[in-house]
Amino acid sequence: MKTRLFLFDIDGTLIASGGAGEKALTLAIKERFGANDSLEGIEIAGRTDTGIARRIFERYGVEPNTENLTGFLDCYLRHLETRLPATKGGVLPGILQLLEELKKRPAVAVALLTGNIRAGAKLKLTHYGVWHFFEFGAFADDHHDRNRLGKFAQDRARETHGAPFAPDQIFVLGDTPHDIDCGKAFGAKTVAIATGRYSVEELRAHRPDFLFQDLSNVADVLSTLGL
Residue whose beta carbon is closest to Mg ion: 12
CB of 52 to Mg ion, least distance (A): 12
Whether residue 186 contacts residue 162, with contact meaning beta carbons closer than 8 Å, is answered with: no
Site string for Mg ion, 164-193 (x = CB under 5 A): -----------x------------------
CB of 114 to Mg ion, least distance (A): 8
CB of 103 to Mg ion, least distance (A): 22
* Per CB under 5 A, 9 contacts Mg ion: yes
CB of 205 to Mg ion, least distance (A): 17
* Per CB under 5 A, 22 contacts Mg ion: no
**CA 147/CA 162 separation, integer angstroms:** 24
Strand order of the β-sheet with 4-8 is: 137-138, 108-113, 4-8, 170-174, 189-193, 210-212
CB of 96 to Mg ion, least distance (A): 18
* Per CB under 5 A, 21 contacts Mg ion: no
Q: Which is nearer to Mg ion, 2 or 146 (CB)?
A: 146
Of 7, 8, 11, 156, which one interacts with Mg ion (CB under 5 A)? Answer: 11
How far are the Cα atoms of 26, 57, 72, 122, 167 from residue 29, in angstroms, in the given order?
5, 9, 8, 22, 39
CA proximity to 199, closest of 175, 225, 172: 175
Q: Coil, helix or strand for 174?
A: strand
Whether residue 118 contacts residue 12, with contact meaning beta carbons closer than 8 Å, is answered with: no
Binding site for Mg ion (CB under 5 A): 9, 11-12, 175
